[in-house]
């Protein structure tokens, strides 16, 4: 038996043991718990808050219910559930319920998830036209923005579909003569061969004969209407550009009948990889490897990943993923009070975005550890942004440059102005929003949404709070029992960042004039008293940091939310990543060679 086979066997027998343990824990600690504390509202045909656990209880491994269980974990962990006026479980029962649910992933059947066809995003579409026809990627800028979210793309209105036609027309106009010559080939070239070449590139896979028939018919349509050869070929190219095969990533072959799970073909894989890292179509090298059927080999795939990441086009990974992860995608349109923060000009917003981008890219390209997202002693500044750091004397000019930081309170995403600004309100900081951000985006915990009818801070009695700092007001708000459970976790984290104002400047006093009190604690009782100490505590949780980033990037790569089986895969990936010092390129390589990235379920 080979080493690899032995390892695989060990892995599957380990899994079996875990499955049995999970089954037992579910029976003992979940079923009883749900019957005692949840069923009154979420069982027996009752679905309070839209939640019914009856079927989920019978099929714990069903991926359709994993979201429900994740919500249950979040709510029970935060003591939001069972509600205060209902019977309460003992702390031991609660903990055992949570521990048992944490194992529920082991009950999921092996499943890579579907490879749902999706339309190219606006950015991808523009980039693809750039690489295909040599036009400016901004040609697609009038398309509507997508609603981001786990693989969700809004649908198109007819008027917007027409924009695709308009853009195709404009792209043909902008296309340069030499590009046309390259695409259309010699004068005597067979039209069908020209079509085959165009479609191979544009559809990102070999076209079928039927697809070529259509394109040749479009050419003939042009010729019958007395267009010259080049004009008829341009009409054919336009047909390529508005074809669903161009706008969607589609499979090249029929799925084999009788199979439930199949590997992605190499062409799909090339597209998946290229759109993930570059937000554009596969280049020649990737296409060639796909044609040769070699791309799916792990070593080839890993080498290609390294190559793609080294290329400057991989900034797409930040624009598409990083900016959403950090929240800095919102910077451009977020409202700030113009009187309080006249500094928030478009130039400063751009500099904040670029700081986050260059920092993200430095970690990816230099293959640094995931921990350096939190703890680093450098950043990227220009003259505009340096003012926020109080470094305007040292750093001038419009160009962003790498800067070594001496203040340990700075450095890393927690202390980055772009992040601090997007987690603030228009007029002031929000310890709550920052706390939620750290828990959800950095440590990967799920925070249950605020209960309804929460009175905001603004509603507090003016006289009572007149001389209180924001921290004191927030704490007053927490005396409300409904809110206290979550806020005693959230707020202290946010308080640790109160030294940074709503646009990320350092301050020692709150707006009320009271001194900033940055003392707080993380769940689990670790105390800190400054941003520097908070950063150190979070940086020490490298497994949580890596798990969070791995899960978020995997979901982005797959364009869907993660379900039970994915979490088993993530566990396996984490072992490899940890062994290699939590390095960022290892994390990305693990994702693109992972089971759900390489395979797809064929849906009934």
Partner 1 sequence: MSHLLNRRACLRGLGASLGLPLLETMGWADAVKGKTSYKPPVRLGFMYMPHGVIMDQFWPKSPESFLKSPPPALEALRPILNQCLMVKGIQGVSISPFNGAPHALELSTWLTASLPNAAKRNQIHIAISADQIMANYVGGLTALPSLELATMPQTHKENQEGLNEGYYSHCSFRSPTQAMPAEINPRSVLNRLFGKTGQSGKSAATDPLDRQMLDLVIGGAKDLRRKLPHSDQQKLDEYLDSVRSVERRIAAIEYRQKEAALEKAGVASSKRKASDSPPIEVKIPEGDKRSEYMQVMCDLTVLAFQTDTTRVSTYIGSTPNGVSYPELGFSDTHHGPTHHNNEAEKVRKVAAITKFNIDQFAYMVKKMAALREGDGTLLDNCIMMWGSGLEDGNKHTRENLPFIIAGKGGGTINTGRFIDTVKGNQGDLLTTLLACSGVPLDRPIGIATKEIKEMRRA
48-77 residues in contact with partner 1 (CB under 8 A) are 48-51, 67, 71
Return the bridge partners of 526, or none.
522
CB distance 595 to 8 below 8 Å: no
- Whether 372 and 363 have beta carbons less than 8 Å apart is answered as yes
Q: Rounded to 5 degrees, what are φ and ψ at 188?
A: -90, 5
The residue from 4, 109, 159, 481 that contacts partner 1 (CB under 8 A) is 159
With binding defined as CB under 8 A, does residue 116 bind partner 1?
A: yes
CA–CA gap between residue 409 and residue 329 (Å, rounded)? 24
Q: Is 166 in the site for partner 1 (CB under 8 A)?
A: yes
147 forms part of the interface with partner 1 (CB under 8 A): yes
**For tokens 């029962």, what's the residue?**
93
Nearer to partner 1, 228 or 366 (CB): 228
Of 7-15, 246-254, 503-511, 530-538, the window that binds partner 1 (rule: CB under 8 A) is 246-254
From the list 109-117, 312-320, 545-553, 563-571, the region that binds partner 1 by CB under 8 A is 109-117
Residue with smaller CB distance to partner 1, 179 or 324? 324
Sole window of 143-151, 176-184, 353-361, 401-409 interacting with partner 1 (rule: CB under 8 A): 143-151
Count of chain residues binding partner 1 (CB under 8 A) = 81
Cβ of residue 458: shortest distance to partner 1, in angstroms? 6
Residue 85 as a binder of partner 1 (CB under 8 A): the answer is no
Q: Which is nearer to partner 1, 215 or 374 (CB)?
A: 215
* Contact call for residue 89 and partner 1 (CB under 8 A): no
Q: Contact between 456 and partner 1 (CB under 8 A)?
A: yes
Binding to partner 1 in span 292-331, by CB under 8 A: 330
Which of the ranges 24-32, 523-531, 585-593, 596-604 carries the binding residues for partner 1, by CB under 8 A? 596-604
Nearer to partner 1, 3 or 147 (CB): 147
Choice between 237 and 545, CB closer to partner 1: 237
Q: What is the DSSP track for 436-447?
A: HHIIIIIS----
Residues 403-442 that bind partner 1 (CB under 8 A): 426
- Binding of residue 481 to partner 1 (CB under 8 A): no
Asked if 218 is part of the footprint of partner 1 (rule: CB under 8 A), the reply reads: yes
Q: Kindly tell me which of 169 and 572 has the beta carbon lying closer to partner 1.
A: 169
Burial class (CB in 10 A: 0-12, 13-18, 19+), 417: buried
Mark the segment that binds partner 1 (CB under 8 A) among 84-92, 148-156, 266-274, 275-283: 148-156
How far is C-alpha 22 from the chain's CA centre? Answer: 29
Site for partner 1 contains 150 (CB under 8 A) = yes
Q: Which stretch of DSSP H or E encloses residue 558? A: helix 542-558
Which position among 102, 262, 300, 450 is part of the footprint of partner 1 (CB under 8 A)? 450
Residues between 186 and 215 that touch partner 1 (CB under 8 A):
208, 210-211, 213-215
Quick check: 459 binds partner 1 (CB under 8 A)? yes
For partner 1, the closer of residues 203 and 380 by Cβ is 203
Is position 86 an interface residue for partner 1 (rule: CB under 8 A)?
no
Residue 112's closest CA among 550, 601, 582, 525? 601
Distance between CA 563 and CA 551 in Å, rounded? Answer: 11
Give me the phi and psi of 584, to 5 degrees please.
-65, -40
Instruction: Let me know: does 539 contact 411? Beta carbons within 8 Å.
Output: no
- Is-cis flag, bond preceding 82, omega within 30? yes
Where b means 16+ CB within 10 Å and e means fewer, 123-133 reads bbbbbbbbbbb
Residues in contact with partner 1, shown as a per-residue x/- string from 223 to 242 under the rule CB under 8 A: --x-x-------x--xx--x
Q: What are φ and ψ of residue 53, in 5° steps?
A: -105, 5
Answer for which of 17, 86, 255, 303 binds partner 1 (CB under 8 A) is 255
**Residues 327-386 interacting with partner 1 (rule: CB under 8 A):** 330, 333-335, 337-339
Q: Do residues 279 and 319 touch, judged by C-beta distance below 8 A?
A: yes
- The residues, any chain, with a CB within 8 Å of residue 324's CB and separated by 6 or more, are 148, 556
Q: Which of 510, 488, 487 is nearest to 500 (CA)?
A: 510
Shortest distance in whole angstroms from residue 145 CB to partner 1: 5
Between residues 164 and 495, which has the closer beta carbon with respect to partner 1? 164
Nearest approach in angstroms of CB 51 to partner 1 is: 8
Tokens of residue 600, six digits: 């797809």
- Candidate list 82, 222, 417, 564; residue touching partner 1; CB under 8 A: 222
Alpha carbon distance 357, 319 (integer Å) = 8
The residue written with tokens 């998946």 in the block is 272
Cα 409 to Cα 172: distance, rounded to the nearest angstrom: 53
**Residue 571, number of CB atoms within 10 A of its CB:** 15
Please give the C-alpha separations between residue 472 and each of 439, 478, 516, 545, 560, in angstroms, as whole numbers: 22, 10, 10, 30, 41
């Amino acid at each position: 038996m080979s080493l690899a086979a032995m390892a695989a066997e060990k892995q599957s027998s380990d899994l079996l043991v875990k499955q049995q343990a999970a089954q037992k824990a579910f029976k003992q600690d979940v079923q009883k718990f749900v019957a005692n504390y949840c069923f009154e509202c979420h069982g027996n045909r009752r679905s309070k808050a839209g939640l019914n656990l009856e079927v989920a209880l019978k099929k714990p491994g069903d991926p359709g219910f994993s979201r429900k269980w994740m919500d249950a974990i979040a709510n029970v962990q935060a003591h939001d559930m069972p509600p205060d006026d209902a019977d309460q479980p003992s702390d031991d029962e609660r903990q055992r319920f949570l521990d048992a649910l944490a194992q529920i992933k082991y009950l999921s059947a092996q499943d890579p998830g579907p490879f749902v066809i999706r339309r190219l995003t606006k950015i991808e579409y523009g980039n693809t036209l750039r690489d295909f026809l040599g036009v400016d990627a901004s040609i697609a800028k009038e398309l509507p923005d997508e609603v981001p979210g786990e693989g969700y793309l809004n649908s198109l209105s007819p008027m917007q579909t027409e924009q695709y036609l308009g853009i195709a027309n404009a792209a043909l106009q902008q296309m340069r003569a030499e590009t046309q010559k390259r695409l259309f080939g010699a004068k005597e070239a067979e039209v069908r061969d020209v079509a085959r070449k165009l479609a191979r590139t544009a559809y990102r896979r070999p076209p079928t004969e039927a697809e070529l028939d259509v394109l040749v018919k479009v050419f003939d349509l042009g010729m019958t209407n007395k267009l010259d050869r080049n004009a008829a070929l341009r009409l054919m190219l336009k047909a390529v550009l508005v074809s669903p095969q161009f706008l969607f990533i589609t499979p090249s072959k029929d799925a084999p009948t009788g199979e439930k799970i199949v590997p992605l073909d190499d062409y799909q894989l090339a597209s998946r990889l290229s759109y993930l890292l570059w937000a554009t179509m596969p280049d020649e090298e990737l296409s060639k490897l796909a044609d040769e059927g070699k791309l799916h080999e792990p070593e080839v795939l890993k080498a290609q990943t390294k190559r793609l990441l080294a290329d400057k086009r991989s900034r797409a990974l930040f624009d598409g993923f990083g900016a959403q992860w950090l929240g800095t995608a919102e910077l451009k349109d977020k409202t700030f009070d113009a009187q309080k923060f006249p500094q928030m000009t478009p130039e400063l917003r751009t500099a904040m975005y670029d700081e986050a981008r260059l920092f993200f890219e430095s970690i990816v390209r230099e293959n640094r550890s995931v921990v350096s997202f939190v703890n680093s002693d450098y950043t990227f500044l220009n003259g505009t942004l340096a003012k926020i750091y109080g470094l305007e004397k040292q750093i001038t000019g419009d160009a962003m440059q790498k800067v070594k930081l001496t203040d340990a309170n700075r450095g890393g995403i927690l202390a980055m102005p772009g992040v601090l600004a997007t987690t603030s309100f228009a007029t002031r900081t929000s310890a709550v929003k920052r706390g939620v951000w750290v828990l959800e985006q950095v440590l990967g915990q799920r925070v249950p949404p605020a209960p309804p009818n929460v009175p905001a801070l603004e509603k507090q009695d003016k006289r009572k709070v007149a001389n209180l700092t924001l921290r004191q007001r927030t704490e007053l708000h927490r005396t409300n029992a409904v809110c206290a459970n979550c806020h005693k976790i959230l707020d202290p984290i946010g308080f640790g960042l109160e030294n940074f104002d709503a646009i990320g400047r350092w301050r020692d006093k709150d707006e009320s004039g009271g001194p900033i009190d940055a003392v707080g604690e993380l769940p689990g009782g670790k105390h800190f008293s400054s941003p520097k100490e908070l950063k150190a505590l979070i940086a020490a949780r490298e497994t949580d940091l890596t798990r969070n980033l791995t899960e978020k990037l995997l979901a982005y790569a797959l364009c869907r939310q993660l379900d039970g089986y994915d979490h088993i895969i993530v566990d396996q990936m984490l072992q490899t990543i940890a062994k290699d010092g939590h390095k960022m390129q290892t994390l990305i390589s693990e994702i693109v060679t992972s089971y759900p990235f390489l395979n797809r379920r064929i849906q009934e």
